[in-house]
């Protein structure tokens, strides 16, 4: 029998009304204006990076250049100096400068909301694109990162090998209207309870519903 997805999501939402999202680092509200452009750049910075480092780098970057037009005038070296603690900062600085240039120039100041448009930008793969669709445009799509992939498989919502398969399966099993918030809910849950190593089964509200709870 399939899982009661609504009940699982209800329990997770009740556990953690505050949610994590790219650049906000565990409930901290960003000090910069949240626009599609800043959400996109923060999400690029967040790739293979800790939330705290993403937050600090985003804060430094957007305090100097709050939008695509101003950032497009910065040099790659200037951008790199603000994100130097970020993993792969040199490549990301180049990509961010190029994104700013494309958005402020070719795209007339608008970040695209469709997958193809987003994925045509430097360092924007499927995961980053779907996160931007969720967080910047409020679209009802599943954004699968390492937490979402791991937890969905542990619970038994899906049985998949890759994040791409997980995205397809979750789009099938999660009811419309609840897909866009899945990432926010599961990221925090994955940091605090269903951790990659040493999941805290005894503290978990999903004990009775999870395939991986030790019985």
Tell me the torsion sign for CA atoms 84, 86, 90, 94: negative
Give yes or no for residue 213 binding ligand SF4 (CB under 6 A): yes
Minimum distance, C-beta of residue 190 to ligand SF4, in the bound complex (Å): 8
Q: How far apart are CA 132 and CA 137, in angstroms?
A: 7
Give 110 or 200: the residue with its C-beta nearer to ligand SF4: 200
Give 93 or 193: the residue with its C-beta nearer to ligand SF4: 193
Residues 183-212 that bind ligand SF4 (CB under 6 A): 193-194, 199-201, 204, 206-207, 210, 212
Residues 118-177 that bind ligand SF4 (CB under 6 A): 154-155
Compute how many residues bind ligand SF4; rule: CB under 6 A: 13
Count CB-CB contacts under 10 A for residue 197: 4
Which long-range contacts does 190-193 make (Cβ < 8 Å, 24+ apart)?
A: 190/146, 190/147, 190/148, 190/150, 190/151, 191/20, 191/26, 191/147, 192/16, 193/15
Q: Contact positions toward ligand SF4, by CB under 6 A?
A: 154-155, 193-194, 199-201, 204, 206-207, 210, 212-213
């Amino acid at each position: 029998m399939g899982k009661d997805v609504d009940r699982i999501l209800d329990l997770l939402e009740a556990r953690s009304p505050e949610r994590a999202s790219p650049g906000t680092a565990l409930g901290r509200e960003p000090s910069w204006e949240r626009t599609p452009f800043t959400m996109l750049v923060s999400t690029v910075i967040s790739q293979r990076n800790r939330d705290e480092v993403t937050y600090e780098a985003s804060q430094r970057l957007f305090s100097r250049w709050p939008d695509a037009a101003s950032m497009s005038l910065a040099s790659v070296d200037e951008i790199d100096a603000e994100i130097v603690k970020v993993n792969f900062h040199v490549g990301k600085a180049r990509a961010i400068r190029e994104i700013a240039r494309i958005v402020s120039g070719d795209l007339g100041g608008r970040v695209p909301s469709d997958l193809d448009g987003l994925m045509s930008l430097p360092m924007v793969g499927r995961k980053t694109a779907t996160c931007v669709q969720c967080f910047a445009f409020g679209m009802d799509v599943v954004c699968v990162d390492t937490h979402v992939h791991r937890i969905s498989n542990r619970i038994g919502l899906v049985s998949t090998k890759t994040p791409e398969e997980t995205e397809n399966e979750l789009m099938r099993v999660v009811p419309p209207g609840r897909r866009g918030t899945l990432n926010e809910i599961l990221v925090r849950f994955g940091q605090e309870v269903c951790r990659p190593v040493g999941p805290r089964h005894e503290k978990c509200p999903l004990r009775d519903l999870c395939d991986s709870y030790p019985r």
